[in-house]
Amino acid sequence: MTVIKWNVRAGAYYDSVVLMQLQRGLLGLPGVVDAGAVMATPANRDLLAANNLLPESITANPDDLLIVIKANDDASAEAAIGQVDDLLTKRKSSNSPNSLEFRPRSLSAAVKQLPEANWVLVSVPGRYAAGVAREALDLGKHVFLYSDNVLLEDEIALKKIAREKGLLVMGPDCGTALINGIGLGFANRVRRGSIGVVGASGTGTQAVTAQIHNLGAGISHAIGTGGRDLKSDVGAITAHQALDVLARDDETRVIVLISKPPSPEVATQLISAAQTTGKPVVIYFIGYPPPARKIGNLKFAISLSEAAELSIREVENSRILQSSNSRFVRGLFSGGTLAYETMIGLQAFLSPLFSNSPITHSQNLEDPLHSKFHTIIDLGDEFFMVGRLHPMIDNDLRIRRMKQEAADAEVGMILFDVVLGEGSHVNPAGELAPVIKEIRGKRIGESKSRGGRVAPNDFGGAYRDHNLDGDLEFVAMVIGTDDDPQNLQLQVSQLEEAGVTVFRTAAEAVEYISLRFSASKQNDFTPVNLEQLKQPLAAINVGLESFYDSLLSQGAQAVHVEWRPPAGGNEKLAALLQKMRK
């Protein structure tokens, strides 16, 4: 038979290392069977209950420290409770050889002690973290924000300030970073090399950087963003800054971008930004169907280990040139799956994208008869099919829709499929090609009468007749075999003669379109100073002392702040002090 005793200490701050040591100290006492020492939050109370350490009669507030002892007898339990003060006041022994040196008690004092420090590591409890991070930004320092339980609005505010100043806020809840060979927070020891990482996922970044090392290559910098950076509210501020600075870093030859699934708009923007880096970028959006294996300079991975492998293979890849096109794509498909697969590819870089066969709800085209922005129409959808032959047999609907789309001056490309084989129209290209010729003739005429300029493209000034300003480009994917009754070669040649760019798979067509519609680079932020990343790392640590120890063991210069929360963690007193200062 065991007994349980407990002790509640009203609202005060305790470091989580201190709590762990208190619990371990209590467990080591004679007669003690189990012990808990936690802040009495609902989650922690549930955890105690799960370990049979929470008698119903305990009342405590979330800010209170709750100590529970399960012992063999009353005397042992009482004795353990009696030890709590001693255990709490006993300074934990530091592993640091520098523990006897002077330690500043504020960030500003630490900066005076180590003015070359460009980085501040913050791992204090969440409710204090935003304040410390803001102070660091005010002092002109980059912030590695390990703390979790930071409010989303604080994250947004901090990142906006940082973006203005050309500073990085890595986090909150950022587990890892590697800057110039030094690991911040949790970080595997990896050799330096030419692969840069932008990671919205801490262990994801660790797994990838560790494997890059294990496969013989190395890391230039790995910049963490925190898991919420890619949510639409935050808009991937840090990820955009990180992509930009790694794009400018000559030591970084390949970039890996890792994140849990971002919101579709954020994904499109990030992919655009990745395209404009001019470097191979390996993207792994965990749980997001990859739009393709490869789109221009982008490669899409489907696992952490594959991201590592691909990045190493890409190190030798060269710079990719791109042209751009700001008008809209309209896809008119007879094959539902071809339409769908094409959308999966296009949604990575065209936004907003709509369809009568949408992937996500936000892509739903309410009126299938009228396109808007980029649109993919499945003309074989049931909506179009009552009393009507399938568009693989009857081209009438598609021809009418082609003319309708072509009448919209905002449309820059019409994309369509031609599915050959048994059962299909005997000569689809024979019906479509003349219409396309007619449309293109009309468009070019209109463009000339408006005095439309004929623009050289980005491929060294060469002209391509279907890339002209004002012109409308036609792209087709032809699905068929040499044995099909329609004569595959004849179908392709009729389309090509009408000026259509022809592909044989959806994947190839998608890659082509990505190059025609890639975004041009437009930064709306102050660039991060690349030179600061290249300097020997010097940092100030506020919070977990183990992070400070690890900086020193890696040979970095560092100062640890003996941080205590305002008013000793007493929230009421802190609020009063704050008021008095104003």
The footprint of a second copy on residues 315-354 (CB under 8 A) is: 334-338, 340-341, 344
- C-alpha separations of 440 from 14, 465, 568 in Å: 73, 11, 75
Tell which one of 60, 190, 274, 353 touches a second copy (CB under 8 A). Answer: 190
Query: What token pair was written down for 123?
Result: 């791992």
The residue (of 282 and 444) whose beta carbon lies closer to a second copy is 282
Site membership for a second copy, residue 185 (CB under 8 A): yes
Which H/E stretch holds residue 545?
Answer: helix 545-553
Separation CA 534–CA 271 (nearest Å): 26
d(CA 142, CA 147): 15
Q: In whole angstroms, what is the distance from residue 550 CA to residue 536 CA?
A: 15
Residues binding a second copy: what is the number (CB under 8 A)? 111
Separation in Å, CA 560 to CA 142, 175, 257, 535? 16, 18, 31, 20
- 70 near a second copy, rule: CB under 8 A: no
By CB under 8 A, is residue 290 in contact with a second copy? Answer: yes
Q: Which is nearer to a second copy, 388 or 453 (CB)?
A: 388
Among 316, 483, 524, 531, binds a second copy (CB under 8 A): 483
Q: Give 227 or 331: the residue with its C-beta nearer to a second copy.
A: 227
The only residue of 249, 417, 471, 545 in contact with a second copy, by rule CB under 8 A:
417
Would you tell me the crossing angle of helices 202-214 and 304-314 to the nearest 10 degrees? 50
**Is there binding between residue 397 and a second copy (CB under 8 A)?**
yes
Among 118, 297, 355, 424, binds a second copy (CB under 8 A): 424
Does 94 engage in binding with a second copy (CB under 8 A)?
no
Largest CA distance in the chain: 100
**DSSP H helices in 1-125:** 16-27, 42-50, 74-89, 107-113
Least distance in Å: CB of 392 to a second copy? Answer: 6
Which residue among 77, 110, 348, 419 contacts a second copy (CB under 8 A)?
A: 419
Site for a second copy contains 213 (CB under 8 A): yes
Helix (H) or strand (E) holding 237: helix 237-248
Q: Is the separation of the CB atoms in 336 and 500 below 8 Å?
A: no
Q: Which is nearer to a second copy, 171 or 470 (CB)?
A: 171
- Which residue's CB is nearer to a second copy, number 177 or number 444? 177
361 touching a second copy, by CB under 8 A: no
Q: How far apart are CA 450 and CA 447, in angstroms?
A: 5
> What is the helix (H) or strand (E) element at residue 558, kind and residue range?
strand 557-561
CB closer to a second copy out of 40 and 561: 40
Number of C-beta neighbours around residue 32 at 10 A: 20
- Least distance in angstroms from the C-beta of 168 to a second copy: 19
The SS3 assignment for 340 reads helix
Upstream peptide bond of 428 is cis (omega within 30 degrees of 0): no
Q: Which residues pair with 218 in a beta bridge?
A: none
CB 190 within 8 A of CB 218: yes
Alpha carbons 402 and 432: distance in angstroms, whole number: 9
Pick from 99, 203, 520, 535 the residue near a second copy by CB under 8 A. 203
Among residues 420, 433, 539, 561, the one that binds a second copy under rule CB under 8 A: 420
Footprint of a second copy on 10-69 (CB under 8 A)? 14, 16-17, 19-20, 23, 38-39, 41, 43-44, 46-47, 49-51
Rounded Cα gap, residues 328 and 231, in angstroms: 26
Closest listed residue to residue 248, CA positions, set 223, 279, 217, 202 = 279
Q: Which range of residues in 111-119, 161-169, 532-540, 548-556 is near a second copy by CB under 8 A?
A: 548-556
287 or 461: whose CB is closer to a second copy? Answer: 287
Residues 220-279 interacting with a second copy (rule: CB under 8 A): 227, 258, 260
Q: Which stretch binds a second copy (CB under 8 A): 160-168, 264-272, 316-324, 504-512?
A: 504-512
**Nearest one of 468, 470, 467, 469 to 443, comparing CA atoms:** 470
Instruction: Identify which of residues 183 and 196 has a Cβ nearer to a second copy in the complex.
Output: 183
C-alpha dihedral sign at 98, 101, 104, 109: negative
* Position 491 contacts a second copy (CB under 8 A): no
Does 515 participate in binding a second copy (rule CB under 8 A)? no
Binding residues among 110-139 for a second copy as defined by CB under 8 A? 125-126
Query: Which residue of 173, 244, 473, 545 would you call a contact of a second copy, by CB under 8 A?
Result: 173
CB of 390 to a second copy, least distance (A): 8
Among 194, 323, 554, 557, binds a second copy (CB under 8 A): 554
Tell me the closest approach of the beta carbon of residue 9 to a second copy, in angstroms.
12
- CA dihedral 537→542→543→549, nearest 10 degrees, is 40
For residue 8, state whether it binds a second copy (rule: CB under 8 A): no
